Amino acid sequence: MLAGISVLLFFLGWFKYFNFVNDSLREIAKFMGLNYSVPYQEIVLPLAISFYTFQAVSYLVDIYYGKQKAERHYGYFSIYFAFFPQLVAGPIERAKKLLPQFKVEQSLNYENLTCGMKRIAWGFFKKTLIADRLAPIVSSVFDSPNPTGSQIVLATILFSIQLFADFSACSDIAIGCARMLGIKLTENFKQPHFAVSIADFWSRWHITLSTWLRDYIFVPLCKGKKKRSEIYFAIVITFLVSGIWHGAAWTFVLWGLIHGFYRVFGDYTKNSREKMVSFIQLDRSPVLHRWVKIAITFLLVCFSRVFFRSDSITQAFENAKLFLTISSWRPSGIIKAFEIFSLLDLVIFILFFIIVQLFQYIERKNGSTWEWLSQRSIIARFSFYIFIIVSVLIFGVSGNGFVYGGF
């Protein structure tokens, strides 16, 4: 197991992180006045190496601990690692879930086809009408040499919306493609921006990565540990791995450490915060209390994404300073910052953003919007389906790859 994991991590490290480490060592040597002559390497990153490496590691560990039997058929073994719908950006699946499905003979199934097509269409809806419409607007601020504080605040919030729409759309399309073939993939998102805490956020965002990190990083680190400080250390290491996995840049390292700090601070201050809530009697209004927690969690996540979106450490700290400046949050400044939109783009974005929110509202109330729709009249159902398709064809924009395709 250790030999297999070492080989997998060696290739991941070479292809994805060699130049990052090399450049960091060169900067350290330059700062210390030392000579460092290892040149930059022109390395072509293999497609989806981060995702299939994690699947391969989970496969080896599960076999070692008896949770999964080794697959002797090379075809099934190969397709587990290279199943095309989820290859580039997940969901990160376990062999225990996928392998048995591949061994069942599938036939053309009306329900699978319709469910799959709905998910694919909804994925394109979010991708082309939300994510790709926001992408150039967000870039216009983060690529600007002198953005205002209010522009950074607005662009960061919009980037959070863009990132969710983009990545959840990618998962929707993957899940839909697989479902048309009779394969059920794991749901990867559960409305993360309605999370009431950072812990809750990570149980809703990129769920297959979160559970992977929990099972194969956090749990082994915590084995036999009872002290609170040791568990907190394991939390920070787990989020550090998450940051490094997302990209070979110090901005991602800091992003991971920020979320590690959030989790540790949240757990450490839990009792104090509950006492404060009781003191100000906020808990007497459960609905208000919930929305306050949702707002605070969302803003904390947005702040971390300043580092996620910035191109360098220097830019990240400058943008973070602007984000935290009180004057950046003045209503007049935020309203003026909306000038980054053209009037047409703003109207289109608001319209389709409201539709996505209505979809999510129905999902929160009924468990599944698609099941809720199936109980409506045939006219209502097909009107909605046609609306999705026509909206994508008329108002959708494309040209941007999926954000997580780069990780």
- Indicate which residues carry an active-site annotation: 246
Q: Residue 36 in 3-state DSSP?
A: coil
C-beta of residue 238 within 8 angstroms of C-beta of residue 214: yes
Q: What's the gap between Cα 58 and its chain centre?
A: 20
| Residues 400/131, Cβ–Cβ less than 8 Å | yes
Q: 313-324 and 286-309 are packed helices; what angle lies between their axes, rounded to 10 degrees?
A: 150
The total number of residues written for the chain in this structure = 407
CA angle 142, 147, 151 (to 5 degrees): 80
Burial class (CB in 10 A: 0-12, 13-18, 19+), 160: buried
Rounded to an integer, what is the distance from CA 28 to the centroid of its chain? 32
Task: Classify residue 338 by its DSSP letter.
Answer: G
Q: Which residue, 110, 165, 96, 180, is CA-closest to 132?
A: 165
**Distance (Å, whole) CA 32 – CA 1:** 40
Q: What one-letter code names the amino acid at 320?
A: A
Could you check whether the bond before residue 136 is cis, i.e. omega within 30 degrees of 0?
Answer: no
